[in-house]
Chain A
Amino acid sequence: MRNVWAVRFVTRPKSTRSLLALFVLSTVIPLVLLVVLPLQMATSALSEQSTNKVADTSSNAADSMRLQLDSLKSLTTSFSKRSDIIAAANARNGTNNRLLRDAMQEFQQANSAIKAALLLDAKGTIVSLEPYSAASVGQDYSFRDYFTGAMYRSDAFISTVFVSPAARNANIVSISHRVTDADGKTVGVLVAAVDSKQVFQSYVEQFQAENDVELQIFDQGAQVVAAPGLQGDIQVSRDPRVLGAIAGTPWSGKEKRNGKNVLTGYSTVPGSDWVVSATVSQSDAFAPIKHLESRVVVTAVILGSVILCAIALLAISMRARDRAESALRSSESRTRTILDTAHQMFVEVDERGRITEWNAEAEQLLGWRHDEVIGRDVIELLIPEAERDRHRKAFEQQLESGHDGEHRQNVTVDLLRKTGEAVLPAEVSSWVTDAEGRRTVNVFVQDISDRLRLQREQELVVKRQKALVEDLRAADKAKSDFISTVSHELRTPLTSITGYLEMLQDGLGGPLNENQQMMIDVVDRNAQRLLNLIEDVLTLSRLESGSVKLNRSEADVRSMVTAAVETLLPQIHNSGLVLEVDVSQNCGSLVGDVNQLERVLINVLNNAVKFTPSGGRLSINAYRQGSSVTISVSDTGVGIPVEEQPHLFSRFFRASTAQTHAVQGTGLGLTIVKSIVERHGGAVSLQSAPGVGTTVYIELPAEITADAPV
């Protein structure tokens, strides 16, 4: 399972750069095609259209030219057939013929473009001319093409253009027609000299002004008859297209003229060998295309820029996302490692309750492998049937109300295992995360079976201990109550015994004889013993049951010692003992129950008195050492065998020496001493040797220091 994850994290997606390049190509190429292809199509369509148009234009101009020429030709033809002209040509003497001159004048004036009218005879000699010039009559014009051209054809002839000195060096085109007599014999040629400028040049200029089309007119000799701005000498075109058109093959197409792209059409003027060319500049012809082109290009550029900007933005955001993803991947990888090495089960659940994550610990503790649980309903899988509804509700509630990151802490659940064995007690902590609108419930599960077992065991132990303590306490209380009750009950009968004994001894029952007196004394002594025993038992019982509280106050050591000594002073004197008391100056006070501590000193001193034979010595020493006060009571008494010393503080224990020396006692005195001293946080110890004496040490903590510190 971990390998699968590893592969997932190591494999990187295709690099952003190549993706972007692909994207740029897939958007920009179609855009370029979208711009170029229609433009090319439009250009070629328009180019074709323009070419056709220029061809048409040249053709139309040629037609128009034909009409002009035709009208001149008709005029010349009709005058050539007039009888007076025929007669004059035939007569060859019409120079002075008034009628001829009138006819010639009429002819010349029939069209304003006719600058001069000539009549030649069959040999090419000028018969007449108008405007008239006597010098010209008789001159030989047979070399002129308009003479030769007309002589051998039946229709009118149009000459090439030439410069006529007679017409003040104007460019002239002559229209000529032969003159025949009634027999059909050629008698001469009638010629109309037409001002080229007036007819052709003006047409060309007008056409250019009106249509913005350059026309050029060529004669059959490829000489330029008319062209915009034509001046000076007549030029001959060597353009093969002109020559081709003269030969009858029109042409149209693109060419370069004066460094400019132009469209030109060449057409033959019908009924003549002239050629008309029409030229338009390509920029003019393609103006609409250029307009379209510029619009398309601007649009395309804008569109392209927008796309590039978008791509740039995309690139930036992709890069940022790449970085974020890479950071996320490394964070995921870290998280993954943490989750898989954690000693807690981790389960991630989607909004529908389906498991999306399952760590190694979960695999181990619950038995299902990662690939077995992914996509399964977490509640169906893990929660025992009886609990499912409750957990489903809680899950939905958490999903609805749980804010991002809010925890649901330490919910205890029992989880089903794959093996179907006993459920796994667990503690669940879960929180909702909300990433990109996808809500996820993250669950940490802690196996608490060990903890529960330990807890149960501990509870059991504590319960047993409690029961034991309770039993002991009850038994102790019962014992204390019993002792207390018994002690009290014993007091009342003892009151009658000791009371009447006292009255007997006081003689209230009458005088006593010696024997009666002795018996009464024994009864009285033993009644006192019994009373002491009862007192000691009662005191010990109270101390041990804790029913007596320490009445703590400042207890002055010297005062307590003095009080104890005063209590026992009569017995000390009666026993013939010597007492030395040495209370150190620095003893000061300690905190304790004064009455009880005095009782301790009395008990110990009483023992010393009882067990020391007459003439013995007693000493009391009290001193402070560090934070404790030690009071020792020594005697030169009978002493206690070493083997018996450990039992001295046990209840009712009496040393063998006590019995040997018939010393009375209850065996409870030192037990009471020990109990009181220990309740004060102190300790009692003892040194003794039989026949030498005994020293009892009472060590008490001094909570309050006085006088001088040591």
Chain B
Amino acid sequence: MNILIVDDDPDIRELVAFKLRQMGYGVRVEKDGEVGLLAAVNEQPDLILLDVMMPKISGIEMSRRLRADERTSHIPIVLITAKAQEADVERGFEAGANDYIVKPFSPRDLVARVENLLAKS
């Protein structure tokens, strides 16, 4: 199983990648939305983890684009956000995200959600 991680913060990126690799997933990381979108199309990952607060293209916008593109529209998306307010969560689901996790999060928790989503799909 391959997972694409898109986050502008290298420490978070590496934390999540380290944990997922430990759990046996194939991981690809990208630092912003533009390259993230290309990778999603080219690599066809089984799941995408998206940070909401990113420069250039936000996680919300990227979710929308991924869902709009038929090559990526089937890939499950989990949003990572610092905002736990309902409005933000709602926007994320509207844009096409399947789940979300609020910073700071437990890596165990993250893995549980990822596994849960992949099992469903």
Contacts and interface: CB of A to CB of B under 8 A. Distances in A.
Interface of A: 488-489, 491-500, 502-503, 506, 508, 531
10 contacts: A492-B12, A493-B11, A494-B103, A496-B9, A496-B11, A496-B12, A497-B104, A499-B15, A499-B107, A506-B108
B108 A502 contact: yes
B22 interface: yes
A497 B11 CA distance: 10
A496 B15 contact: yes
Contacts of B22: 503, 508
Contacts of A502: 106-108
Given A488-B82, A488-B83, A495 B18 contact: no
A497 to B, nearest CB: 8
Contacts of A506: 108
Contacts of B82: 488-489, 491-492
Interface in B11-30: 11-12, 15, 18-19, 22
Given A492-B82, A508-B19, A498 B12 contact: no
A112 B53 CA distance: 179
Contacts of B19: 499, 503, 508
Contacts, number: 48
Q: Is the interface of A mostly helix, strand, loop or mixed?
A: helix
B: contact size bracket: 10 to 19
A498 B104 contact: yes
B83 A499 contact: no
B9 A492 contact: yes
Q: Interface centre among A495, A500, A503, by most B CB within 10 Å? A: A495
Contacts of A493: 11
Contacts of B15: 495-496, 499-500, 503
Contacts of A489: 82
Nearest to A508: B22
A568 B53 CA distance: 34
Contacts of A531: 104
A502 to B, nearest CB: 6
A500 B104 CA distance: 11
B108 A492 contact: no
Contacts of A499: 12, 15, 19, 104-107
Interface in B63-101: 82-83
A493 B103 CA distance: 9
A499 B80 CA distance: 14
A496 B103 CA distance: 9
A499 B111 CA distance: 12
Interface string B105-119: 111100000000000
A489 B9 CA distance: 12
B104 A503 contact: no
Given A499-B15, A500-B15, A492 B103 contact: yes
B87 to A, nearest CB: 10
Contacts of B104: 491-492, 494-495, 497-499, 531
Contacts of B18: 503, 508
Nearest to A548: B85
Contacts of B105: 495, 499
Given A488-B83, A503-B19, A495 B108 contact: no
Given A499-B107, A503-B22, 12 more contacts: A491-B82, A492-B82, A492-B104, A493-B11, A494-B103, A494-B104, A495-B103, A498-B106, A503-B15, A508-B19, A508-B22, A531-B104
